[in-house]
Amino acid sequence: MHLDWVVRGDVAEGLGNGLQSRVQRFKSARRLPRSQPLPQRASTLAAMAPPLTARLNLRDLLAAVEDAPPVAAADAVAAGLAAAVNASGVAFLIADFSGQALIRLGHVGADSVRRQGQETAEPVRLVGTPHGRTLETQAVVMEECAGGTCLYAPVTNRGEAIGVLELTLPAPPSEQTRADVALAAHVLAYVVIANRRFTDLFEWGQRSLPLSLAAEIQHRLLPGAYTCEAGQFTLAAWLEPAGDVGGDTFDFSIDRETLHLSLTDAMGHTVDSAVLATVLVGALRNARRAGVGLAEQAFRANRDLEKYAQSGEFVTGQVARIDLRAETATIVNAGHPPPLRLRDGRVQPVPLEAAPPFGVLPGCDYRIQPLPLAAGDRLIFFTDGMLERNTLDIDIGILIEEGAEMHPREAVQQLIRALLEVTGGDLKDDATVLCLDWHGGPPRQRTSDGGANSP
């Protein structure tokens, strides 16, 4: 949230005296008395980590976040950081649903910015800006600006680029201050993830354009994060809806020994396809969470969809599992285009037999097929929206090869941007891409820095 008012001391139009008192507490660097009870979550987290700095204490910071209403949780983090490093302004910019911009959330702004009550949402483009470089490099970017020195820090969790923390300092910061800002941005990632459960503020901010009912339903079917970094793999996905929303979805989940993946495409458009997708995704998740094997998961999903689907309705899809200990993968292919594999600099389709789509053949026993993996492989799963007639000028294979060194988060965006460019943004069907980089090796922890993988 934009906190110029905090630094200026303009309290009346802010969030009230409670938050201002917390700012004064940060400024005086006073520790909370040991006798003062803290919320259980704050005390647990504080016991696991040291103070951020001598000026910004994690115990105080988490207590301030917990005391603030959910809509002001990011304000509490920003206020504490502003007071600690003497910033003239702190802003949180959240990634919007287009993938092409950030949205500066705040309480003040020009008449032209999007508003809802006291909240404002100001778009900031990614291309050619320090904000874009921050997300791409996942590192703190520093530039001279009108107010002195501007810092931009990635707000990231397990590779999921949530947004950017932006602040202005009167002079170039020390290395320690830059490290403190980066750590505060990482803390902010967890604060946003936790508090968005209680408020629509962050969802509203991300919506540069209003969603249709079909798009609303579709969005609810997607996982809470589109990127995940782990020791053995990195994955990222993106769904670009058509103007007349189709029924694409993607999903993933990780347990101790297995990575679960799915990509589905319901026939039709608008609410009808969204409802088909809802039934199938719900059935796949229900079976997965019941702990059944891949063949049984596909069988149950097909059975449940067939009970609901009308004559001629179906959903294509791929459901895969990777055994993280054995380093092997298997897949069910229900009438879906085969994935592409980038190996040793060359892109080739993965040979798979196509079984009937889900909902077509009652009692179908889906064949489990091997999905060969080697360390260094990149797998690209996609829906047929990438193959529509008005996308034929795109050579997906060449784009994948050209983006071989990109993080999967950037690679899926590169493919979607190329699609939008060649179609002029006029998609006839949803387009979804899921990129999996298989690093291989035994199960292990990742090495991270500020929420992203270390170089």
Query: Which pLDDT score, from 0 to 100, does residue 324 have?
Result: 97
Query: Which pLDDT score, from 0 to 100, does residue 391 have?
Result: 58
d(CA 136, CA 199): 28
pLDDT top residue among 275 and 45: 275
CA angle 34, 35, 41 (to 5 degrees): 70
Residue 254, SS3 per DSSP: strand
Tell whether the model's pLDDT for residue 27 goes beyond 80. no
- Residue in the block written with tokens 């647990």: 44
pLDDT band at residue 230 under the 50/70/90 scheme: very high
pLDDT band at residue 31 under the 50/70/90 scheme: very low
% pLDDT > 70, the chain: 85
Q: Which residues contact 10 (CB under 8 A, 6 or more apart)?
A: none
Take residue 16 and report the two structure tokens written for it.
């009230």
Query: Which pLDDT score, from 0 to 100, does residue 427 have?
Result: 86
- pLDDT by residue (tens digit) across 337-393? 999 999 999 999 999 999 999 999 999 999 999 999 999 999 999 999 998 766 567
- pLDDT by residue (tens digit) across 196-222? 999 999 999 999 888 889 989 999 999
Tell whether the model's pLDDT for residue 10 goes beyond 50. no
Q: Are strands 369-370 and 346-349 parallel, antiparallel or unpaired?
A: unpaired
Query: Which pLDDT score, from 0 to 100, does residue 53 have?
Result: 52
Residue 217 to residues 221, 253, 399, Cα–Cα distance (Å)? 7, 20, 31
d(CA 99, CA 275): 25
- pLDDT by residue (tens digit) across 88-133? 889 999 999 988 899 999 987 666 689 998 899 999 999 999 999 9
Following DSSP, what letter does each residue of 299-331 receive, concatenated?
Answer: HHHHHHHHHHPPTT--EEEEEEEEETTTTEEEE
Query: Which pLDDT score, from 0 to 100, does residue 26 have?
Result: 43
d(CA 273, CA 313): 9
pLDDT top residue among 287 and 270: 287
Take residue 431 and report the two structure tokens written for it.
């387009």
Tell whether the model's pLDDT for residue 311 goes beyond 90. no
Side chain identity at residue 184, one-letter code: A
Residue 334's closest CA among 307, 372, 293, 305?
305
pLDDT band at residue 269 under the 50/70/90 scheme: confident
d(CA 339, CA 45): 41
Which parts of 158-257 are beta strand (E)? 160-169, 227-229, 233-240, 247-254
Alpha helices in 68-212 (DSSP H): 73-85, 130-137, 175-195, 201-206
Q: Which of 226-240, 371-385, 441-455 has the lowest mean pLDDT?
A: 441-455
Tell whether the model's pLDDT for residue 430 goes beyond 60. yes
Domains of the chain: 4-205 (3.30.450.40), 213-453 (3.60.40.10)
Average pLDDT, the chain: 87
Cβ neighbours of 445 (radius 10 Å): 7
- pLDDT by residue (tens digit) across 390-416? 656 789 999 999 999 999 999 999 999
Query: Which pLDDT score, from 0 to 100, does residue 109 have?
Result: 62
d(CA 240, CA 97): 9
Q: What is the pTM of this model?
A: 0.87
